Amino acid sequence: MIRNLATVVLALLLAACGGGESNVVQGNREGILHYGNGSEPQGLDPHVVTGVPENKLIRALFEGLAVKNPYTLEPEPGVAESWDISADGKVVTFHINPEARWSNGEPVTAGDFVWSWERALNPAMGNLYAYMLFPIVNAEAYAKGELEDFEQVGIKAPDDQTLVVNLNAPTPYFIQLMDHYSTFAVHPETILKHGKKTDRFTRWTRVENMVNNGPFNLKEWKLNRRISMEKSDTYWDRDKVRLNGVIFYPTENLVSEERMFRVGQLHYTQTIPLDKIPVYQAMEDTPYVQAPYLGTYFYLINTRRPPVDDVRVRKALSMAIDRHKLNDTVLQKSNVPAYSITPPDTLGYYPPKLFEYDPQQARQLLADAGYPNGEGWPGLELIYNTSESHRKIAVALQQMWKDVLNIAVTISNQEWKVYLDSVTQMDFQIARRGWIGDYVDPNNFLDLYLTDGGNNNTGFADPRYDEMILELAPQAETQEERYRIFYEAETMLMEQMPILPIYTYTSKHLIHPSVKGLPSNLMDSLNLKYVWLDPDWDQQKRAE
């Protein structure tokens, strides 16, 4: 039965919707990857967007000073052909590849990065990822408007091929940051042609205006249908790029995305409906690929709004969640229950576990907050971005809170852009949230909750926490001391409970067997320079 099902699915992969040639078959022949990318992107400006769907698109169009090897996650040369780090670890010198070009043929220079990083840090830009550059001397002061002279920020370009960066302290993950889109350069003249330096969502990202420096160029953007890209003929490493193009599809509806894969319209899905996981897991030669993923799924709490402005209510909500039951049922045993923001074993760091499922304690905390057995409960709304998986999780927790605490929680879905705006403006009580590591280090999760941090959105603020993350941890002389500081800070965070951690992610994709050079990795990182399509994959399979 299972083998027959697998055969049927495989046949469907080769078939087209109306009997003609499918996207997959045509794409394999022409070298065009058809990629399910989740939600319609918020935009394509590296200094404005914040989401995972945007990440895949921008890293196809642009390239930073370094890139990630998808097999090892080690930094490799990007726009910088090499870099030097001083003996004290506080000066990084990047040597720009003289062959690096913008898509209009102009050279990419060190000055472009100085200009772009000033833009990224400028308070008027409203860049929620500005803190990624805070390891740089005076970057934080400039971003917060405490320093007006950008010349005092530790970023200098003595010539077109040399970028010198001065750091506050040795930063082990700094080179990793160069592959994050918030540190990418943008083309100054193009930005200024379509508005001021710090204007958001201008016409510069449109197909006819875009100037970029990555392996692919923007060819077509049909809203809520597809974003098409073609191989760049100006990219410095174009000879290693084997794909001729990529078509990204907004696949917010997981059921539709899985159906598109089944009938050969997609090579790759962003994820998979939860109820389909057991079906694909049971298949022989399954296209389903699941792997560890450096990320945490959690609920964000607006600690400034009642009734969740009371820490006792927040803790009651958290202790009323049976995470193991949720994982075993709704999540199809596909994730790992989480009790803090940092995933366990992040470079050897393990976060504190201060609570567990405890209905009795949860009820007592709620009573102490003034709502015994739910009496007098004022109501609570949970928002999530449109997704069947998010809805199922929200419904399950809604029922747990009703069963354990006797309280009503309403749930509301929002389209991706509306949801992002609600979170950014803190126009919510509880919001579905996920955080995927931008680099492999506990700091990437803990610096989310710095006072007024761009991605904090909880109201949590603690000067001692800020001091530990921004000053004490960077100055630690050993990894053991650094992790001890992180552990103490994360303990403080979870004692205040501005988030409800739910589970540690795994990546879950359907990948057509013709796709090569797309390995699983801890960050689910996509480097399209490595990807290629084998049009003869089925013949090789039959030969085996």
pLDDT in tens, 152-208: 999 999 999 999 999 999 999 999 999 999 999 999 999 999 999 999 999 999 999
Quick check: 8 pLDDT over 60?
A: no
Please choose, from the candidates 165, 124, 131, the residue with its C-alpha nearest in 3D space to the C-alpha of residue 145.
124
The pLDDT, as a whole number, for residue 252 is 87
7: pLDDT strictly greater than 90: no
Could you tell me if 137 and 168 are in contact, meaning their C-beta atoms sit under 8 angstroms apart?
yes
Q: Are 36 and 260 in contact (CB under 8 A)?
A: yes
User: Mean pLDDT, to the nearest integer, of 520-528?
Assistant: 94
Residue whose tokens read 């500081």: 485
pLDDT of residue 84: 97
Q: Looking at the DSSP assignment, which residues form a beta bridge with residue 516?
A: 532
Question: Does the pLDDT of residue 142 top 60, yes or no?
Answer: yes
Give kind and range of the element (H or E) at residue 59: helix 52-61
Report pLDDT for 535: 94
Q: What's the chain's length in residues?
A: 544
**Nearest alpha carbon to residue 415 among 200, 227, 199, 223:** 223
Checking if the pLDDT of 540 tops 90, the result is no
Query: Measuring CA to CA, how many Å separate 457 from each of 299, 437, 490, 499, 500?
Result: 11, 18, 17, 10, 14
Query: For residue range 220-239, what is the model confidence (pLDDT) as tens digits?
Result: 999 999 999 999 999 999 99
Q: Does the pLDDT at position 15 exceed 80?
A: no
| φ/ψ of residue 298, rounded to 5 | -150, 170
Average pLDDT score, the chain: 94
Its pTM stands at 0.87
- Domains, the chain, ranges and CATH? 2-37+238-269+511-543 (no CATH), 63-213 (3.90.76.10), 293-506 (3.10.105.10)
Residues 353-369 have pLDDT tens digits of 999 999 999 999 999 99
The Cα–Cα gap between 181 and 200 comes to 16
